[in-house]
A = this chain, B = another copy of it.
Amino acid sequence: MSFSPLVEQLLESLRVLPGVGPKTAQRMALHLLERERDGGRRLSQALTEAIERVGYCERCRTLTEEIQCGVCQDPRRDSALLCVVESPADMLAIEQAGGYRGQYFVLHGHLSPLDGIGPDDIGLDQLEARLSRETVSEIILATNPTVEGEATAHYIAEHLVGREARLSRLAYGVPMGGELEYVDGGTLSRAFQGRQPFSSE
């Protein structure tokens, strides 16, 4: 025995959400049907609207329902600085950290030959085109500090030699507020290699 067809169909569809297994899907479905039908209607509505209307910013490729995103449209941002990130979430994290006033380019992933994700899938042709169009003095490669992120950064770097733009990569080191005791070895050795002159002033 199982739930009624429509409830089962809802259970199934909820499984599309990341990290949602059978049990969680059941809890979600029953919660919506027993206590949150209004919220469920709003969710269904918001989901359709977003899926039908949200596309990619023509300039930086982040998610937006407009032709260009808020950051790209902001005249106060420094267009000479270009930060390349893997996802809109990374872009948001950098914005929320504050301090960076340049522009962005979102890859929506990283190179992954095994999954058939090549240079064009992460918009490198579009990045090239943008660099030919705009004058960029520095490109900050802010892909994730993972094997794939590293490989992608290296590929982009090789790809862009000859351009006048300086290339940089986020610094590796110990995270602020953490305790050395709990920092992994790889990070620690990177922090040693990248140690900086210290002045007590």
A interface with B by C-beta (< 8 Å)? 1-7, 9-10, 12-14, 16-19, 24, 26-34, 36-37, 39-51, 53-54, 63-66, 69-71, 87-89, 92, 95-96, 108
Contact B17 A69 (CB under 8 A): no
A42 to B29, CA, bound (A): 14
- Whether A32 touches B51, Cβ cut-off 8 Å, given contacts A4-B65, A70-B1, A88-B3, is yes
A40 to B15, CA, bound (A): 10
In the assembled complex, the CB of A115 is this many whole angstroms from the nearest CB of chain B, namely: 11
Contact A37 B10 (CB under 8 A): no
Residues in B whose Cβ lies below 8 Å from that of A108:
34
Contact A43 B3 (CB under 8 A): no
CB-contact partner of A50 in B6, B27, B53, B89, under 8 A = B6
Residues in B whose Cβ lies below 8 Å from that of A70:
1, 4
- Whether A43 touches B16, Cβ cut-off 8 Å, given contacts A2-B92, A9-B50, A71-B1, is yes
- Whether A33 touches B50, Cβ cut-off 8 Å, given contacts A3-B63, A5-B65, A65-B6, is yes
Contact A4 B66 (CB under 8 A): yes
Residues in B whose Cβ lies below 8 Å from that of A5:
65
A36 to B88, CA, bound (A): 16
Residues in B whose Cβ lies below 8 Å from that of A40:
16, 47, 50-51
Contact B32 A13 (CB under 8 A): no
Contact B24 A19 (CB under 8 A): yes
A66 to B33, CA, bound (A): 15
Contact B4 A54 (CB under 8 A): yes
Taking A1-B95, A6-B54, A44-B47 as known contacts, 12 extra A-B pairs with beta carbons closer than 8 A to each other, sorted by chain A number, are A1-B71, A3-B63, A4-B54, A4-B69, A12-B46, A27-B89, A33-B50, A33-B63, A34-B63, A34-B88, A43-B47, A44-B44
